[in-house]
Amino acid sequence: MKICAIPLDITYADVENNLISAAHQLNQVEPDTDIAILPELFTTAFIPDAKTIAQKAEPNDGHTIETVKRWAQYFGFAIAGSFLATDGNGKYYNRAFFVEPMGDVTFSDKRHLFPLSTENITYSPGTKLPPTIRYRGWNIKIIVCFDLRFPVWTRNCPDDMYDLLIVPSNWPVSRIKPYKLLLSARAVENQIYTIGANRTGTDKFGDYTVGMSSIYDNLGEEIKETRRNGHIYALLDLTNLKEGRERFPAYRASDRFSIDLTPAE
């Protein structure tokens, strides 16, 4: 499987301009690619104030996802990322999406909301575990940004093994070391591939450089190839991944656990 992460410079709260920018970048993705990943909140960036959030949030069948569905069909590869969502219930979510060329869409809401911003105040957390997406013979999960810090949230289980973890992100360069360390750690402990697609540019929370996006194999080795346009690629080998698990079946010794998804008091 060939994957691509697109480090997009996101314009604050400007959906149309960001859709144009994303379309331009997707048009440059190599045609034999299977999955292209856009950064976290790729159409709005992180919006902290409630009024603007209410203006920009969209339902699952809104303009952003309908546009992504047309892109996936046109280009012939799946497209993943996250957007500012609402279900019309007065609540707002940082919602990951995985859109397939045939039109199937999987959503997963960010569970862990970043406490150094107002995300944990103005957004609502996800209430379900990340679903397993079956795509072109691979089992895939998608989480968002700060979720990466919580290993239990992505723990691979023998009853529901997955092979690739996708992480649309918005980590500033000041935290580049823990970002890459955590991507590598999630790959090693779960015996999977991981890919972090981080934004570029600048906002009030920090600076974001092109080189932050990355891809790791199941041994925690960085395997990305960077193109002149800043896109990063890797070829993932499912046979080698499964053979590696059988040679060193650490997952069979993993502990069973349950997660309490009720709101904290």
Residues forming the active site: 40, 110, 145
Q: Which residue has the tokens 């290993």?
A: 151
Give, in order, the Cα–Cα distances in Å from 134 to each of 98, 161, 168, 243. Answer: 11, 11, 18, 20
Which residue spans within the chain are E strands per DSSP?
A: 2-5, 35-37, 78-86, 92-99, 105-109, 133-135, 138-142, 164-169, 193-198, 201-203, 206-208, 214-216, 225-226, 232-235
Instruction: Tell me the DSSP string of 217-238.
Output: -TTS-B--EE-TTS-EEEE--H
Do 94 and 41 contact (CB within 8 A), yes or no?
yes
Do residues 146 and 126 make contact, with C-beta atoms less than 8 angstroms apart? no
Q: Which structure tokens are listed for 200?
A: 């570029």
Place of tokens 């996250």: 82
Tokens of 165: 């973890």
Q: What is the DSSP letter of 136?
A: T
| Tokens representing residue 82 in the block | 């996250």
